[in-house]
Amino acid sequence: MPLFDQLHPEWQSELARHKELIESIDRFIQDREIAPTYDRVFRALSDPIASTKVVIFGQDPYPTKGHAHGLAFSVDSSVSPLPASLRNIYKELKEDLGITRSDGDLSSWVNQGVMLINRVLTTEVGQSMAHDSLGWQAVTETVAQILGERDVIAVLWGNSALQLKKYFPEESVVASVHPSPLSAYRGFFGSQPFSQVNTKLALKGLPAVVWQ
């Protein structure tokens, strides 16, 4: 199925302005070994728009073969050891809420209305940021704009994600440096993003996310 057709119909409507761009990316990635696999590129945008109450923006997919599966920061349950960024996320989760996780699959968060999406949705296996210049940022910027208009809570980790801050009300933003080993000690650790999100959800009268 072509990439554009893999979007939820509501996202197809909202991202119609980017259809030609998405089709050009689709042509570019044909016959290349990409991460995530072709059928999972738009996994983060496969649910109705209204189902999203929190969005966590990452940078680009894990380049290690078999790691990326279409949700930012998440990996398949079979992956061990976990990627370093995800280990740091779990370390902060333990400090913030006392929750211990070992399974790298974050689908349970998605099922509660947490969108996990990267700014760049594909890369080459074995190479980070290989598709940084394909134009994905225009697509995910529009996603941010649409979610911001619906007052979705935005968790912005790292400079690439922070570029989207302008689309969200100030009181709906949780922001810090990226959880990668290169930056986590400069402000990610101790930022308490998970409890912050649940506090903001409570203020909107929405149920907390069970981050377990």
CA 45-63-212 angle, to 5 degrees, is 55
26, 60, 105, 151: the catalytic one is 60
Q: Are 34 and 68 in contact (CB under 8 A)?
A: no
Alpha helix segments (H runs only) across the chain: 9-14, 19-29, 84-97, 107-110, 136-149, 159-162, 193-203
**Coil, helix or strand for 87?**
helix
Q: 204 Cβ partners below 8 Å, 6+ apart? A: 151, 153
Q: Are 77 and 103 in contact (CB under 8 A)?
A: yes
Q: How far apart are CA 10 and CA 137, in angstroms?
A: 19
Q: Is 96 a catalytic residue?
A: no
Active site residues: 60
